[in-house]
Amino acid sequence: MDLIKNIKDIIIGERSNSDLIKEACQELILDDKTMREIMKRFLHEIQLGLKKETHPAADIKCFITYVQDLPNGKEKGRFLALDLGGTNFRVLLIHLKGDSEFEMQSKIYAIPQSIMIGSGTQLFDHIAECLANFIKEHKLQNERLPLGFTFSFPLKQLGLTKGILIRWTKGFNCEGVVDRDVVELLEEALKRRGDVSIEICAILNDTTGTLMSCAWKNHNCKIGAIVGTGSNACYVERVENAELYDGPANGKEYVLINTEWGAFGDNGALDFIRTQYDREMDEFSINKGKQTVEKMISGMYMGELVRLALVRFTKEGLLFGGQGSDLLFKRYQFFTKYVSEIESDKPGTFFNCYDVLEEIGIFHATDEDCANVRYICECISSRAAHLSSAGIATLINKMNDPSVTVGVDGSVYRFHPKFHDLMMVKIRELVHDHIQFDIMLSEDGSGRGAALVAAVASRDAHE
């Protein structure tokens, strides 16, 4: 009977669950023509963001950072850095010794969920308290040290020490901060305490810190990118192209631009590649209609995109015999780290995949199920890597330098087993033939980079 059934299946062309899943996942695979169209739209949005007339309506805002000098490796002195960009923040004491040598001490402080969605006053009082505790622990009360403040949310900068919050991302929604100068809010919180004496000499985004940290060791670094909880990039632009620049006419040709590319597609420019998983993700997010491409790339959302696909195919009877689990059907319970773990299995083995599925309450998976789960993960993570590559390749082509190093940081880039290689291959396909590029991992860009911006600002002021 089994032989007759198999022959019948072949004759009528019955397809396996794996075939049906692979067919449904084709919408997640971006072909060359689609990639070129994404790059064309991305460049158009960059140009809108750079121009005064079109900037207000642009999705990719291309904010001026007012950072115009890169480090030369000879910076010296002790600097504080404050790094706020997620559910934790860090305070760092960095001693730059010249010749790209440094010593660093740091401490991580948690931000409770109640503060993440509470008032701005609560948030900055909490930061000031932790900063004061750090200063006391390191016996720095009698020193007035320069501080670089990494604030990894969309900022409109009006100077090196003045940054207006445009909107919250990454699960934050503190009242009374949007449209305010966050440096001023921190200074007010420190003033309320009265026991901390510091000089905030630069505010920056983590992408700027990433670029600065890499440029300290590799003077060819012209792009900084983050693929972590969020996603963003900055790059070196000619001042003449940055129409919103209103800093001093100091004869400097370049300025760093914080693109805030996470919002690419908010105007519908990426609707032609969005899937049902992207739409459902957005529908149930706290920033509906915002950060469109970030929701396709970053670690905050990647695991949830995979979960939504797993739920779909389970309900269609193509996975797990149609039987899921409470955790599978619960939002945000399939973590992005699971994607990296599943894709770390050696070909033909599913040790990590079985472990992950058991963690979410699925004990009845087969090898075929695991192969399909891995395929879904690969489709979603490859799409993220290729979208990141499209943005970086567009910036490389726009600068048109013969050789560029790209500094990249972020948990997805660091921990996903194939992300770096996927990006290297795809960027090579997309950049002009005459351009050479390399990607280097940024070592603590949001921390050390903040100190370097402060160091360069102090160096310039001294000169």
Domain residue extents for the chain: 63-217+444-456
Q: Is the dihedral of CA 214, 220, 224, 228 positive or negative?
A: negative
Residues 6+ apart with CB under 8 A from 374: 342, 343, 345, 350, 353
- pLDDT score recorded for residue 13: 53
Q: Which two tokens stand for residue 138?
A: 């390191």
Compute the distance between CA of residue 269 and CA of residue 331 in angstroms, rounded to an integer.
27
Q: Which of 61, 156, 170, 426 is catalytic?
A: 170
In Å, how far from its chain's centre is CA 61? 16
- pLDDT score recorded for residue 5: 43
Q: Which of 69, 83, 206, 409 is catalytic?
A: 206
* Nearest Cα to Cα of residue 144 among 71, 196, 210, 189: 196
Whole-angstrom CA distances from 388 to 38, 262, 332, 363 are: 11, 10, 23, 35
Coil vs helix vs strand at 334: coil
For the chain, helix (H) and strand (E) counts, in that order, are 16, 13
- pLDDT score recorded for residue 8: 40
| Other Cβ atoms within 10 Å of 189 Cβ, number | 22
Strand 254-258 to 231-238 pairing = antiparallel
Q: Which two tokens stand for residue 14?
A: 């019955």
Q: Is 125 a catalytic residue?
A: no
| Other Cβ atoms within 10 Å of 101 Cβ, number | 10
Of 3.40.630.30, 3.90.550.10, 3.30.420.40, 2.102.10.10, which CATH number belongs to 63-217+444-456?
Answer: 3.30.420.40
Q: Is the dihedral of CA 243, 245, 248, 253 positive or negative?
A: negative
Asked if 257 contacts 65 with a C-beta cutoff of 8 angstroms, the reply is: yes
- pLDDT score recorded for residue 461: 60
Provide the edge-to-edge strand list for the sheet that holds 436-441: 63-64, 254-258, 231-238, 221-227, 403-409, 436-441
- pLDDT score recorded for residue 31: 97
- pLDDT score recorded for residue 463: 57
Coil vs helix vs strand at 124: helix
Element (H, E) at 457: helix 445-462
Backbone angles phi, psi at 266, to 5 degrees: -60, -25
Q: Please give the chain's pLDDT, 463 residues, in tens.
A: 444 444 444 434 578 999 999 999 999 999 999 999 999 999 999 999 999 999 999 999 999 999 988 888 778 889 999 998 777 889 999 988 877 778 889 999 999 889 999 999 999 999 999 999 999 999 988 888 889 998 988 888 888 899 999 988 878 889 999 999 999 999 999 999 888 888 898 899 889 999 999 998 898 999 999 999 889 999 999 999 999 998 877 888 999 999 999 999 999 999 999 999 999 999 999 889 999 999 999 999 999 999 999 999 999 999 999 999 999 999 999 999 999 999 999 999 999 999 999 999 999 999 999 999 999 999 999 999 999 999 999 999 999 999 999 999 999 999 999 999 999 999 999 999 999 999 999 877 778 888 888 888 876 665 5
- pLDDT score recorded for residue 9: 46
Whole-angstrom CA distances from 35 to 25, 39, 89, 384 are: 17, 6, 36, 12
Compute the distance between CA of residue 21 and CA of residue 18 in angstroms, rounded to an integer.
5
| Other Cβ atoms within 10 Å of 435 Cβ, number | 17
Kindly report the pTM of this predicted structure. 0.89
Compute the distance between CA of residue 205 and CA of residue 93 in angstroms, rounded to an integer.
18
Strand 88-98 to 101-110 pairing = antiparallel
Q: Which two tokens stand for residue 429?
A: 């396909």
The position carrying tokens 């908010």 is 266
Asked if 437 contacts 401 with a C-beta cutoff of 8 angstroms, the reply is: no
- pLDDT score recorded for residue 421: 97
| Other Cβ atoms within 10 Å of 17 Cβ, number | 17
The position carrying tokens 């696909």 is 309
Coil vs helix vs strand at 385: helix
Asked if 302 contacts 228 with a C-beta cutoff of 8 angstroms, the reply is: no
| Other Cβ atoms within 10 Å of 138 Cβ, number | 14
* Nearest Cα to Cα of residue 183 among 255, 120, 102: 120
Q: Is 170 a catalytic residue?
A: yes
Q: Which two tokens stand for residue 325?
A: 């689990």
